Structure 1
């Protein structure tokens, strides 16, 4: 996890405030404890805090292209960067590092705003094009990496967290009460609004382009197309295909120059990831689990069963009632909004445990979304069918 931030001042003689940008980066030092970097060019300033994962020695950011006309700050990982690197070198691009960050720079040189269509990974990045005087910002297809911004008549600010934007002295802290009903109903905000007036999030699968004159263009570059026709296959074909895709995803996420572990609950999702990780690495992996003092609500016995089966190097932490409630103020500060899911607290403690041993972890998150695991997915078509039947019964 890294953090990025930036300032683009409007007006002919405006200059980015270096002290303000450094403060914005300081407030998110927890996202990147290993390194920091800044770049300034008149109206613009970009900065970042780095957690070193790939190319530990030469991956310092911001990174530029060969002639220094394009600069980037980047949070995330690009899993296909090695294959992209080969293609870009064949096209004449010269690399100075081994990082995935530099690949995005050369992709932008080659394809401009369409560079995002070539990326496989999780990302939020900002590119300053000196020649065109354009700030280009992008977020990954599913919004795994966050990006918030504030656009006013005087300047544009962005950061990996809301508090980063609020760290600028000229940003007022005003509660956006209009979003409260949606948040209380669903536990999240589906649009680009936040709890703070004037601060928005760049939506998943979107890019934003901005000039020093304040000209702004937000574009959607990806959306899941569920309308494509496909042939119906037998069950074994779907099982085989999903396993191949899952194994490929796990293998790609093992791209790292630092130790990697896995969060293990003992459920199907995390157990499958841990098993595939063990198979791919052909050695015991480090697993991390969290439980509660109340044994009826603790998953530790299930996690131990899987850990023993995989012969992993297993680690556990038990969260007490006092620990749980004591952590809430800090976690609300980190999330910049109320805590919706109690699992966020557990995740904090197991992540803190894992950080003592590894830098990167894999998890079982996302499988319920891809396999319709939540009850609401089963209820939705039933509700739609019931509504259609009700409407038909009312038509004379």
Structure 2
């Protein structure tokens, strides 16, 4: 996946030239990628784009610059025709201009209201170099992550945390709560990352920054679907049980099945559904025997009952295999796992 990153600096005089900061951010793991860098920079903002390393399709225009706006668009936008129509851009014109140019013209016509109309997987950066106003936009579901960190009147942003770490003058502290949340739930339960102060921009949100004024704005208000048809908790439990049994039955048979039992609600539900179907169940837990998860999983296994196996995993063994696990889970292409990959040198 291609990468974007940059900095906006409202300190005066600027601490460092934004253009030079972006060039420095393009040096990752000791390897300078500046020769592949598409770069825009002025006295206030710097933005860079790096294409996919093994890109086979023709390289597209990423920046569009007019007398007011600098527009960077990376990703896929599916409803270009409807955006053009709503912005009074003729269809023939739309076919002849680049995607950043289309978004630039549409933004001039619609303003931030445009963001709610865009459908796709994308990242958009818009810099108004007349009013000195920056917009950083995440797609509706956050498919393409954008991370940012604000320091005084400067904001660093990028599609991967490693670019931010390179641009910062001082490495941030580790965020223990974010690590605990990830190890407990298997995913981040907030926009925080493993690095203190580095935040992931939520899906369907955009950042608006001017001087020291920074706003996080949601552009997609979810419409309520009406009142629930479920009458009470008993009916809700029954529906959940039936759905779990139906799902497990579709992927299981009468052979002994091992359920990876963490002690959490999802693995408990799968194991209980297996048991309700009459299938022989064996459960497996990986972790420290003294941990709360391992003890809860053991209690669940005894109550099923099921044959239970505990694979011991020490903290040292976890760290030794952490880097390899991230790589095997496609860490370079996934925003969350890119976060994990950036953590490895600090954990060791």
Q: Is the 8 A contact 1:25 1:48 kept in 2?
A: no
Once residues 56 and 324 of structure 2 are traced to their aligned partners in structure 1, the CA distance between those partners, rounded to angstroms, is 31
Once residues 111 and 54 of structure 1 are traced to their aligned partners in structure 2, the CA distance between those partners, rounded to angstroms, is 35
Alignment counterpart, residue 224 of structure 1, candidates 189, 202, 222? 222
Q: What does 1:192-211 correspond to in 2, within 5 Å? A: 192-211=191-210
Structure 1 gap segments, 5+ residues each: 232-266, 269-323, 340-396
Q: CA deviation at 1:24?
A: 1.9
Q: What does 1:232-381 correspond to in 2, within 5 Å? A: 327-328=324-325, 330=327, 334=332, 335-338=337-340
Q: 1:12 and 2:30 equivalent? A: no
Once residues 27 and 198 of structure 2 are traced to their aligned partners in structure 1, the CA distance between those partners, rounded to angstroms, is 19
**What corresponds to 1:149 in structure 2?**
148
**What corresponds to 1:107 in structure 2?**
106
Q: CA deviation at 1:118?
A: 1.5
Q: 1:56 and 2:58 equivalent? A: yes
1:69 to 1:79, Cα distance in 2 relative to 1, 3 A: same
Q: CA deviation at 1:201?
A: 0.8
Residue range with higher mean Cα deviation, 153-162 or 218-227: 218-227
Q: Is the 8 A contact 2:27 2:34 kept in 1?
A: no
Q: Is the 8 A contact 1:8 1:16 kept in 2?
A: no
Q: Is the 8 A contact 1:74 1:124 kept in 2?
A: yes
Q: Is the 8 A contact 2:18 2:42 kept in 1?
A: no
**What corresponds to 2:67 in structure 1?**
68
1:54 to 1:115, Cα distance in 2 relative to 1, 3 A: farther
**What corresponds to 1:350 in structure 2?**
none
Q: CA deviation at 1:87?
A: 4.9
Q: CA deviation at 1:216?
A: 0.3
1:35 to 1:172, Cα distance in 2 relative to 1, 3 A: closer
Q: Is the 8 A contact 1:35 1:60 kept in 2?
A: no
Structure 2 gap segments, 5+ residues each: 230-249, 252-320, 342-348
**What corresponds to 1:84 in structure 2?**
83
1:100 to 1:229, Cα distance in 2 relative to 1, 3 A: farther
Residue range with higher mean Cα deviation, 83-92 or 165-174: 83-92
Residue range with higher mean Cα deviation, 10-19 or 198-207: 10-19
Once residues 87 and 34 of structure 1 are traced to their aligned partners in structure 2, the CA distance between those partners, rounded to angstroms, is 38
Q: Is the 8 A contact 1:210 1:217 kept in 2?
A: yes
Q: CA deviation at 1:114?
A: 1.2
| TM, length-normalised to structure 1 | 0.53
Q: Is the 8 A contact 2:63 2:100 kept in 1?
A: no
Once residues 200 and 13 of structure 2 are traced to their aligned partners in structure 1, the CA distance between those partners, rounded to angstroms, is 28
1:88 to 1:225, Cα distance in 2 relative to 1, 3 A: closer
Once residues 162 and 115 of structure 1 are traced to their aligned partners in structure 2, the CA distance between those partners, rounded to angstroms, is 27
**What corresponds to 2:180 in structure 1?**
181
Question: 1:134-165, CA deviations, whole angstroms, 9 ceiling, x for partnerless residues?
Answer: 00011111110100000011511000011111
Q: CA deviation at 1:55?
A: 9.1
1:61 to 1:190, Cα distance in 2 relative to 1, 3 A: same
Question: 1:1-55, CA deviations, whole angstroms, 9 ceiling, x for partnerless residues?
Answer: 3211111112232153323202323439x9x999531111211111111349999
| TM, length-normalised to structure 2 | 0.60
**What corresponds to 1:263 in structure 2?**
none
Question: 1:333-358, CA deviations, whole angstroms, 9 ceiling, x for partnerless residues?
Answer: 6323448xxxxxxxxxxxxxxxxxxx
1:207 to 1:169, Cα distance in 2 relative to 1, 3 A: closer
Once residues 48 and 81 of structure 2 are traced to their aligned partners in structure 1, the CA distance between those partners, rounded to angstroms, is 25
1:229 to 1:100, Cα distance in 2 relative to 1, 3 A: farther
Question: 1:170-227, CA deviations, whole angstroms, 9 ceiling, x for partnerless residues?
Answer: 141321002233212211112111000111111111110001x221011111143343
